[in-house]
Amino acid sequence: MRPWARANLGRSWVFQQDNDPKHTSGHFANWFRRRRVDLLEWPTSNANQKFAQLEAAWKSIPMTVVQTLLDSMPRRCQAVIDAKGYPTKY
């Protein structure tokens, strides 16, 4: 896996597995850690945790960014109308 990934993806790649218990065992966790393989964590399946993560991400957006996007909505909507639904510069 690692030789192919390095040859085809370079040094910046992340491995994602399917969370099967045999793949997440301590043995495999240590194997990946010893070889410095970055693993992409699967998102939680708990709805309350998902909502909390979403809420935290939303709250991390600066209000100036939100206001700028909100202020741009009339221009964006008009661009869609002018383009008759086709792609716009936005």
Say what the pLDDT of residue 59 is.
96
Q: What is the Cα–Cα distance from 86 to 68, expressed in whole angstroms?
A: 23
Q: What is the Cα–Cα distance from 83 to 68, expressed in whole angstroms?
A: 22
Which residues have C-beta within 8 Å of that of residue 44, sequence separation ≥ 6?
50, 53
**Of 24, 20, 22, whose CA–CA distance to 32 is shortest?**
24
Please report, in tens digits, the pLDDT of each residue of the chain (90 residues total): 778 888 888 877 888 888 788 878 889 889 888 988 888 887 778 889 999 999 999 999 999 999 999 999 999 999 999 999 999 998
pLDDT tens readout for residues 59-68: 999 999 999 9
